[in-house]
Amino acid sequence: MASLKKYPIKFNSVKECEILSGFGPSICKTLDDKLVEFARKCSLSIPDALALGNRLTHAELLERCLSRVSSCCWTLRTPLEKEALLHQFSSPLERPLVDSQSVQLHAVSSEGDGSPSDYLIGQSYDIILLIDIHETYGMSKVKEIMRTQAVKWETRSLPVGDFIWIARDPGGSSKGEEIVLGLVIERKRADDLASSIVDGRFMEQKGRMQKLGFRKMYIFEECKSMYNLRISHETLLQAMVNAQLIDGCDFVTCTSGEQCAAYIASMTRFLITKSQYNCDVYSDGRRPWEAFGDARLWGIPWTEYINLGKKSPALPLRDQFGRHLLQIHSISGSKAEDIIALFPTPKSLFDAYDSLSTEDEKKVMLAQSTRSSRLKYVKCLEFISHIFS
């Protein structure tokens, strides 16, 4: 971001972005894929798509980014403006309205991963906002805004995400009948994001959000100390850009807790307007082909959400050792598997090297200990012996 601000030049190809600091092959490839997608949707050639992008003003670019629910990072303004924007996201459904007095689950064909296993009849379920019980900062103001805007909400211990929505029978209370809608939101103040990047929580939380198969969104809340944190402001921006381009997350930027609450309330009302239509229910790893919000509501059972979102148990020492080996240059998964088959723990490998007296013996020890041809590469063996002896 800093490079683009410093050098606001027009490029003839995405490859040219590599001259800028912070733009590596991975980010350039992601940008290239986005360009191809943009050209396809606009029925343009790549040069014409680039020319169109270079002709657009800053305001026109923002308008295009805000026109779809899967837009990139954009700044929340007033609740009324955001309410209007949220209603732009809605698209008409071909599925007819079905009246019902209570929630009904109907089995449907589930051939292929994109087919739902059940669905909830439209107008027969309530949409309830769930707020993580561990989300405490500024929540008194958030809850006050929810009450004043007549938003149904509950607090609950959530394994992943600070805000989710469930579809539930108006007269029911069993969590086993609840459907978690396919959208998870994590709220991050600038100082919290900085500390979570440093201690690794940001990557770990992002990985658990990825496992859900939901649309993933971060609400980034600015604070006065955001330019005087443990890491630079540029690093925060880079982390958000990487999460957008590489991990497919959406970012919404707010300047206060009140704006965050207004956005959550508006999103809740938007989801309620779509509850008049059927809600597809997916299970056993199935997910729809289209993104959440593009066509209709969908979700997964509460129990599946809990199982997917909870933290992974501690890995056995053997698996941890295998992951450690994979960090060594030129060690592939198959090579690491061959090594831990012989030496399942770091101590066993250390002891094996300590039992040898010469460096030459240590360099060929792994190759002589297995018949696998994958451990015959001399430089690789020398590197391992240097680390563990």
Positions annotated as catalytic residues are 132, 135, 162
Selection from 297, 289, 292 nearest residue 273 by Cα: 297
Cα–Cα distance measured from residue 254 to residue 241, given in angstroms and rounded to the nearest whole number: 16
Cα–Cα distance measured from residue 93 to residue 295, given in angstroms and rounded to the nearest whole number: 7
Q: Calculate the alpha carbon distances from 374 to 237, 246, 369 in Å.
A: 41, 32, 12
Tokens of 363: 């360099």
Tokens of 383: 């590197």
Cα–Cα distance measured from residue 296 to residue 69, given in angstroms and rounded to the nearest whole number: 13
Selection from 285, 279, 288 nearest residue 304 by Cα: 285
Cα–Cα distance measured from residue 20 to residue 6, given in angstroms and rounded to the nearest whole number: 10
Q: What is the DSSP letter of 150?
A: T
- How do 179-181 and 215-221 pair as beta strands? unpaired
CB-based contacts of 369-374 (< 8 A; 24+ apart in sequence): 369/342, 370/338, 370/341, 370/342, 372/338, 374/332, 374/334, 374/335, 374/338
**Matching residue, tokens 């015959």:** 376
Q: What are phi and psi of 209, to 5 degrees?
A: -65, -40
Tokens of 351: 């002891």
| Secondary-structure percent of the chain, ordered helix, strand, coil, rounded to 5 | 50, 15, 40
Q: What angle is formed at CA 53 by the lines to CA 46 and CA 71, rounded to 5 degrees?
A: 100
